[in-house]
Amino acid sequence: MADEHPLPALGRRLRGLHLARSDAAKLGIALGLTILLGLMFPRGEQIEVDARVGAIWAQRDLIAPFSFPINRDELEYAQDVAEARRSVYPVFERDSTASVEYHATIARAFFHLDSALSIPPSDTLAFIAAVSGLDVRFTGQEWRDLRTSYVRGRLAALESTVVGIGYEFLQAGIIDRPKTQLESNDIALRRGKTEEIVPVARFLDRSDLAERLDGRLDDEARLAATLRGPAYKIIITNILPSVVFNERATALATTAAVDAVPRTTGFVQENERIVSEHDRITPEIKLKLDSYNRARADRGPSNDTPLQLLGTAMHVALLIALYGIYLFLFRKRIVGRTRKLALIALIMLLVGTAAWALRMLHISAPVEYLIVVPAASMLLTIFFDSRVGFYGTVILSFIVAGIWGNDYALAVASLVAGALSVYTVRDMKNRTQIFHSLGFIFLGYGLAIVALGLARSEPLGLLLQQLAFAAANAIISPVLTYGLLIFIEKTFRLTTDLTLLELVQFNHPLLRLLAEKAPGTYHHSMTMASLAEAGAAAIGANATLARVGAYFHDVGKIIKPTYFAENQKTSRSRHDKLAPRMSSLIIAAHVKDGIALAREYKLPEEVVEFIPMHHGTTRMDFFYSKALEMARQSEDETKIDEIKEQDYRYAGPKPQTRETGIMMLADAIEAAVRTIEEPTPQRITDLVDDVVKRRVEQGELDECPLTLQDITKTKEAFVNVLVGIYHTRVKYPEVEPRRRTRRASPSAQRRDEQGDISIVAPEQE
């Protein structure tokens, strides 16, 4: 046995390694999602979250397994804490050193003032040097008044007046911050170990000091009017606060006041009944239930036995496994793409995180109705299909309910609202259609809330509150979906119907280039689009994808358009002077060129797939037969053996989807039907049957999921479209006899020359 060639063996090993890595990545996604969602589930035994005030306790009597305090209502406790903070007076202390420091500062100021005034006015430099040590800045007139007072020996009297008035204000009390910053009208004034509550109005802040000082100087009879300005500046500049805020003492007093606010209102003893079966939940019972839940959480993971942790893991794993089984059985193309599985996992994780975050807020309002399950439902539907979206909604509803303590009401409401949101986006025509789901989401939540609320005899106020949160969710979910749509499209490189609808427009630059360079191919593509869309619609496939794929399936012919029959303008074909092998290489190259152009213009991969798959591995029969005929005519039998059938086949792959399978049939049929001289409905039907039969017998449709029933419906759709295009026209009588017979068109001559082989010759195109 010959040794195996190393290159194919290496290729198989590399493919096996790639598959192993891909499977490991998929397993990692599933395992990571299970672990992360499992961590969000509540720990230990949980009370059903339907225990709201006014509801009926439908479970068995709940007996306390251990003693725990009854926590006060969070809102009430927060209000009492705020009141305790407001009741604390800001603590201030008398600064005993303020008078001493003021006296020293004034003495220093007058020393510099005396030195400056003793310098002759002509000695400017010395005067400036002496003034530099003075903090007060006087005007020229004030310096002249001070010099006059200095000459007359009245500067000491000015100093005495400044010191005396300053002492008066310091004794009255100057606080170190504006009164407007104080929330209380009273302050706690400390002197040593004693504390006195006094009104803040007794003291002066900087604005009060400025106002009072001006009036006080006006009343000072001993002070000349010319010196009141300098005296004002000296005092206001050098006086310091004598009543200082004690931040640390205030903080300690605030902490003590807050700590004095009671956190509990009672105690539940071990084996005491918390609530009895069929009792209505009162505010007091609700506090006990909330306190019991918190007590269990505070007791830590010691309550979570290995069996409980295993149960939580199994709970999450079962839900994810059910979704995975559905995808594996019915959506293999999703399972085959790790990127798509990662997107599904990310969407589920985001919703689970939202549910966990809202639960951790511990808010008494029904914030669980803000969990954006409908947004996830719409995203799954838009990026995949309505069935994937619906099954994902079912799984997410159970996961969200589990995170919220197995809340049945939340599961039902999320399921109904999510299912209706799937319905609204199952057939997207434009991006703004997302907002049409707003009313359906609210309708779904509203019906579920009202139905369960009436069954549980919940009060009207609670129902209205739940509906308000549901209305907020109905607004948030479409907005969130719209915002995430473009981000996910770019990040995960996924194609949605919205992307395809943008490509349906005829102004795409690649389509314009096709119409300019290869007008015959462009016309052929437009006809193909009608056929493919009709065939896809008949079997429930993606008609938009089929139409877009038809637009771009032959863009590779832009490179060498005249080598294809539909673009030839003369009776002679450029292949007449070429060897059959060379012609086959040129024809086959348009597939590779088309893929390169499609990726250059950034077409989605789902559209690029149409370029090679619509040919599959079919044989270019016209050139293959021509090569055989030329070899026979050469009378050299070795040349016949040199002709390999594989050299005249397209590289493939075969169609992998229903849409590409329909495209292959449409391409062969559209090209073949142009060879019929008088296309009647019966002839068209027979031709369609013959071409489809050939493709099936050749095995070209073996790898795509088209069933026999799909093929039958597709043929009927093709016939309807073709009959409409090639219907028999009425022959009008000629106005005058023609004197010469019109010559047949070059394309008709070529079809006559090729005869029956033209049915399989369209690969030349």
Give the pLDDT confidence of 65-98 residue by residue, as tens digits. 888 899 888 888 889 999 999 889 999 998 888 8
Q: How many domains would you assign to the chain? A: 3
Mean pLDDT of the chain: 84
**Whether residues 615 and 696 fall in one domain:** yes
- Smallest CA-to-CA distance from 562 within 532, 615, 518 is with 518
Report the distance separating Cα 138 and Cα 148, nearest Å: 14
**Whether residues 486 and 512 fall in one domain:** no
Q: Name the residue with higher pLDDT: 306 or 582.
A: 582
Structure tokens at 731: 């022959």
In a domain, 338, yes or no: yes
Sign of the dihedral defined by the CA atoms of residues 325, 328, 330, 333, in that order: positive
Domain holding 648: CATH number?
A: 1.10.3210
In a domain, 96, yes or no: yes
pLDDT of residue 447: 96
In 336-459, alpha helices (H) = 338-360, 373-383, 386-403, 408-424, 437-455
The pLDDT confidence band at residue 748, using thresholds 50, 70 and 90, is very low
Domain boundary among 192, 225, 255: 255
pLDDT of residue 567: 85
Contact yes or no for 504/687 (Cβ under 8 A): no
Domain boundary among 255, 287, 318: 255
Query: pTM for this one?
Result: 0.60
Report the distance separating Cα 575 and Cα 570, nearest Å: 12
Give the pLDDT confidence of 725-734 residue by residue, as tens digits. 876 555 555 5
Pairing of strands 91-94, 186-191: parallel
| In the predicted structure, residue 11 carries a pLDDT above the cut 60 | no
Q: Is the peptide bond preceding residue 230 cis, with omega within 30 degrees of 0? A: no
Contact yes or no for 512/525 (Cβ under 8 A): no
**Whether residues 575 and 693 fall in one domain:** yes
**Whether residues 250 and 321 fall in one domain:** no
In 41-132, alpha helices (H) = 74-87, 98-117, 124-131
Secondary structure class of 683 (helix, strand, coil): helix
**Whether residues 477 and 505 fall in one domain:** no
Pairing of strands 273-275, 91-94: unpaired
In a domain, 20, yes or no: no
In a domain, 332, yes or no: yes
Secondary structure class of 301 (helix, strand, coil): helix
Which residue type, as a one-letter code, is found at position 470?
A: A
Give the pLDDT confidence of 109-149 residue by residue, as tens digits. 888 888 888 888 778 788 888 787 788 888 888 888 888 88
pLDDT of residue 761: 40
- Smallest CA-to-CA distance from 416 within 479, 470, 456 is with 470
Residue 188: domain span: 91-255
**Whether residues 416 and 511 fall in one domain:** no
Report the distance separating Cα 165 and Cα 162, nearest Å: 5
**Whether residues 517 and 471 fall in one domain:** no
Dump the DSSP string for 225-238.
GGGHHHHHHHHHHH
Report the distance separating Cα 537 and Cα 91, nearest Å: 81
- Smallest CA-to-CA distance from 61 within 72, 47, 75 is with 47
Largest CA-CA distance found in the chain, in angstroms, rounded: 144
**Whether residues 37 and 135 fall in one domain:** no
In a domain, 275, yes or no: no
Structure tokens at 304: 């979570």
**Whether residues 449 and 507 fall in one domain:** no
Q: Report helix angle 228-238 to 155-172, nearest 10.
A: 50
Contact yes or no for 413/441 (Cβ under 8 A): no
Cross-strand partners of 393: none
**Whether residues 167 and 35 fall in one domain:** no
Contact yes or no for 756/675 (Cβ under 8 A): no
| In the predicted structure, residue 6 carries a pLDDT above the cut 70 | no
Task: Give, in degrees to the nearest 5, the angle at Cα 684 between 682 and 689.
Answer: 95
Give the pLDDT confidence of 231-243 residue by residue, as tens digits. 888 888 888 898 9
Please give the distance of CA 751 from its chain centroid, rounded to a whole number: 56
Domain holding 483: CATH number?
A: 1.10.1760
Structure tokens at 392: 């994902």
Give the pLDDT confidence of 274-305 residue by residue, as tens digits. 888 778 888 888 888 888 887 876 765 545 56
pLDDT of residue 611: 95
Which residue type, as a one-letter code, is found at position 7?
A: L
Lowest mean pLDDT among 20-29, 217-226, 570-579: 217-226
Pairing of strands 91-94, 243-245: antiparallel
Report the distance separating Cα 558 and Cα 595, nearest Å: 12
Burial class (CB in 10 A: 0-12, 13-18, 19+), 281: buried
Label residues 289-302 b or e (16+ Cβ within 10 Å = b): bbbbbebbeeeeee
Dump the DSSP string for 326-356.
HHHHH-HHHHT-HHHHHHHHHHHHHHHHHHH
Pairing of strands 62-63, 273-275: antiparallel
Sole residue written with tokens 């060879």: 675
In a domain, 83, yes or no: no
End-to-end CA distance of the chain: 44
Which residue type, as a one-letter code, is found at position 351?
A: V
Report the distance separating Cα 695 and Cα 690, nearest Å: 9
Contact yes or no for 92/204 (Cβ under 8 A): no
Measured between alpha carbons, how far is residue 548 from residues 494, 711, 721 in Å? 15, 21, 18
**Whether residues 631 and 611 fall in one domain:** yes
Domain boundary among 428, 462, 494: 494
Give the pLDDT confidence of 425-439 residue by residue, as tens digits. 887 767 777 888 999
In a domain, 188, yes or no: yes
- Smallest CA-to-CA distance from 169 within 195, 201, 208, 200 is with 208
Report the distance separating Cα 481 and Cα 436, nearest Å: 12
| In the predicted structure, residue 49 carries a pLDDT above the cut 60 | no
Give the pLDDT confidence of 648-692 residue by residue, as tens digits. 999 989 999 999 999 999 999 988 888 888 888 899 999 999 999
In degrees and rounded to multiples of 5, residue 196 shows phi and psi of -130, 135
Q: Name the residue with higher pLDDT: 294 or 639.
A: 294
Which residue type, as a one-letter code, is found at position 93?
A: E
In a domain, 270, yes or no: no
In 178-300, alpha helices (H) = 206-218, 228-238, 247-259, 283-298
Torsion angle of C-alpha atoms 755, 759, 764, 765, degrees rounded to 10: 120
Q: Of 103-112, 167-176, 403-412, 655-664, which has the strongest mean pLDDT?
A: 655-664
In degrees and rounded to multiples of 5, residue 240 shows phi and psi of -120, 155
Report the distance separating Cα 592 and Cα 585, nearest Å: 11
Give the pLDDT confidence of 458-491 residue by residue, as tens digits. 788 889 999 999 999 999 999 999 889 888 988 8
Report the distance separating Cα 720 and Cα 726, nearest Å: 10
Report the distance separating Cα 407 and Cα 42, nearest Å: 12
Cross-strand partners of 457: none
Report the distance separating Cα 544 and Cα 529, nearest Å: 9
**Whether residues 159 and 241 fall in one domain:** yes
